[in-house]
A and B are shown apart, each in its own frame.
Chain A
């Protein structure tokens, strides 16, 4: 029973690995897409365990990001001025200034975590204060209604 579960899990991980490689290769430049897919799938077969195959597939996704970034940089000078201008805009969108792509991604993730933490702190603190604050406010009563009840027989 457990062996069957392990087999099904390996089968699922292999399916995810293949899907990731197909997805990564589709995102690569068109002239490299089919070549990279075949190359990566062949190298996937050389891995022995399902987890190492998954690691390879995840690495291929990252490799595609790097390859696309370098490919777009290399294509800009060879293009015509109009296309080069458009390419520069595309390149500027992907350029992180003084940081590399990996450092930029790291800073982006760190920034998202910090903003999430700050958001949680600022939204939770008033709620906690309202819940803990007792409602101790004095009220002045101007007219006190006095009801005189006359008991029968007195």
Chain B
């Protein structure tokens, strides 16, 4: 959808999504879990997830379960990449500098 490692438009909702992943960078979260943590509506959340994935900040993969045995469909799990972690840390650091300055 976009260029890899491109500059992502930083909105408040994007920062909240990144914050949810930054609490534990190795954690894999589905869209529903991100919604529970951030409270962002689905109409805003899914475009942000796709935008960050296409920019190379996130990678996503299907949950490794058998839907018939689990009794529910498999979810799409998102995880921060090393690039995303570095860029997100830079963004939050720049915001902190701006607030403290």
Q: Which residues of A are in contact with B by a Cβ distance under 8 Å?
A: 32, 35-36, 38-43, 45-47, 55-56, 58-63, 66-67, 70-71, 74
B50 (CB) vs chain A CBs: closest residue: A67
Give B1-57 interface residues, CB cut-off 8 Å to A.
Answer: 1-2, 30-33, 35, 41-47, 50-51, 54
A47 partner residues in chain B, CB cutoff 8 A: 32
B73 cross-chain contacts in A, Cβ below 8 A: 38, 41-42, 45
Q: Are B76 and A63 in contact (CB under 8 A)?
A: no
A62 touches B43 (CB 8 A): yes
Interface residues on B, range: 20 to 34
Show 28 residue pairs from A and B whose CB-CB distance is below 8 angstroms, ordered by the A residue: A38-B73, A38-B76, A39-B75, A39-B76, A40-B46, A41-B73, A42-B72, A42-B74, A43-B42, A46-B30, A46-B75, A47-B32, A55-B42, A58-B43, A59-B44, A59-B45, A59-B46, A60-B42, A60-B46, A63-B45, A66-B43, A67-B1, A67-B50, A70-B50, A71-B1, A74-B1, A74-B2, A74-B54
A43: contacting residue among B2, B31, B54, CB under 8 A: B31
Q: Contacts A38-B73, A63-B42 given: A43-B30 contact, CB under 8 Å?
A: yes
Contact string against A for B residues 62-89, beta-carbon threshold 8 Å, 1 for contact and 0 otherwise: 0000000000111110000000000000
Chain B residues with CB under 8 Å of A46's CB are 30, 32-33, 75
Complex: how many Å from CA A69 to CA B82? 28
Residues of A within 8 A of B1 (CB): 67, 70-71, 74
Is A63 in contact with B46, judged by CB distance below 8 angstroms?
A: yes
> Apart from A58-B43, A59-B42, A60-B46, what are 16 other A-B pairs with CB-CB below 8 Å?
A35-B76, A38-B73, A38-B76, A39-B75, A39-B76, A41-B73, A43-B31, A45-B72, A45-B73, A59-B41, A60-B43, A63-B46, A66-B43, A67-B47, A70-B1, A70-B2
Counting from the closest, the 10 A-B pairs by CB-CB distance are A59-B42, A62-B43, A59-B43, A46-B32, A39-B76, A43-B32, A42-B73, A63-B46, A66-B47, A42-B75
Inter-chain CA distance A45–B35, complex, in Å, is: 13
